[in-house]
Amino acid sequence: MRCVHLGNTGLQVSALSLGTMTFGRESSEEESRRMFNRYLEAGGNFIDTANVYSNGVSEEILGRLLEDHREKVVLATKAFFRMEEGPYGAGASRKALMRAVEESLRRLRTGYIDLYQIHCWDLSTPIDETMDTLRRLIEQGKVRYAGCSNFTGWQIVQSQRAAAFSGWEGLVSAQMQYSLIERGVEYEVLPACLDEGLSLLAWGPLGGGFLTGKYRSGEQPAEGRIARATEDQEEAWSKRATKRNFAVLSAMEKVAKKRGCSISQVAINWLLCQEGVIPIVGARTLEQLEDNLGAEGWVLTDDEFERLSRAGSMENLYPYRFIEWANNRVWGK
């Protein structure tokens, strides 16, 4: 598997990251071990988890799996969501993060975390405090690099300005939901990442399972992640089963048939074609992981890429359409 640089750093990570949200939840420890070993065997080195995944169990399983592989792996984890009751059991305040880091280090059985990410923008904590805390953790050697997750474009830029004020480089990545059916990051977040030199780590590259091709219009699923999702969750059937999304799926099926590959591989490869994007592939079984790994090592043609992009194109909202119109009028472009 080829490697790419993480943001503007010298750190080289695999083009596909292994997501471990299923470890200890849908996947037993033995199945998690099989997937972990297969990913390393395929040349992967970039593994992502979070303290909240299975309430710490994912980190604990990874800690055991990493015992003989720690220096070969770029290990990423996250903090923000509630792990226990009280004001310091969640959030991105200095006290909460310093406690969360120590707990993650204990569960992961390691002395340092390669990439420590704020799992969501914290409305209750000044970003200056959060960024200064990340700087201190890096200076202490407990963290090597800092990233964010589920931030808006302006929040990413504000975070970088807060870091610059403190005299350090700031965030190197942003982990965001991004797929052929969830492209909201293209308005502001992806341009902000490219401008600030951050990698975009794409979670949900298969739309919560929708882009595997097993769903059909008018046939609400009875099992699986989408079936279990409540209306307030990103994978809810009402958010996935739209006319636009099924049009995207149809376009993907045509490309997959012509290519002789799976629909899932088309979805992930489309992300691999994007500048600065590193897909995070998660799986419940080794068979699913094998399929996902097959997305790397080949490239969609320009025509295939454009056809897929057009099928799920974003609405040209204001002020984007006005900026485009005005510049066409003034500059002829």
Instruction: List alpha helices for the chain, DSSP H.
Output: 29-41, 57-65, 94-108, 127-139, 153-165, 189-196, 225-228, 237-240, 243-259, 263-272, 286-293, 302-311, 320-331
Instruction: Name residue 96's amino acid.
Output: A
DSSP code at position 168: S
Yes or no: say if 144 and 178 are a contact pair by the CB < 8 Å rule: no
- 145 phi, psi to nearest 5 deg: -140, 160
**Length of the chain counted residue by residue:** 333
Angle at 275 between CA 274 and CA 279, to 5 degrees: 55
Per annotation, catalytic residue among 39, 53, 116, 145: 53
Under DSSP, the state recorded for 55 is G
Is residue 160 within 8 A of residue 171, CB to CB? The reply is yes
Alpha helices in 140-223 (DSSP H): 153-165, 189-196
Instruction: Identify the bridge partners of residue 226 per DSSP, sorted by sequence position.
Output: none
| 112 in active site | no
**Per-residue tokens: 139:** 């200076």
Per-residue tokens: 294: 């097959």
Q: How far apart are CA 115 and CA 113, in angstroms?
A: 6
- Taking alpha carbons only, the member of 281, 118, 269, 283 closest to residue 202 is 281
Let me know: does 83 contact 103? Beta carbons within 8 Å. yes
CA dist 141 and 268 (Å) reads 34
- Looking at the annotation, which residues are catalytic? 53
